[in-house]
């Protein structure tokens, strides 16, 4: 199951939840208990440009 990031618009608390991808309703805020004011955030992705100093996460092609 994916991890989603949420922010409560009532108390501004940010939190993460592991939820099924097909769940429609947002979870309750663990700080204030509000469910109506919780919005899903768009997660930032990290990219690296330039030469690779260390091992890559993905193979660079070819067969061994």
Mean pLDDT of the 30-35 span: 94
Q: Which residue has the higher pLDDT, 24 or 64?
A: 24
Max CA pair span of the chain: 55
What pLDDT score does 1 carry?
77
Average pLDDT score, the chain? 80
Q: What is the pLDDT of residues 39-53, one digit of tens each?
A: 999 876 666 676 665
d(CA 40, CA 8): 9
DSSP code string of 1-64: --EEEEEETTT--EEEEE--TT--SPPPPTTT--STTEEEPPPP-----S---S--SS--S---
pTM higher than 0.75, yes or no? no
d(CA 44, CA 57): 18
């Amino acid at each position: 199951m994916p991890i989603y990031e949420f922010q409560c618009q009532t108390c501004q608390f940010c939190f993460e939840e592991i939820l099924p991808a097909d769940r429609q309703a947002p979870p309750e805020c663990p700080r204030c208990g509000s469910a109506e004011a919780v919005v899903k955030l768009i997660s930032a992705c990290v990219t690296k440009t330039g030469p690779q100093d260390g091992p890559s996460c993905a193979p660079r092609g070819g067969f061994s």
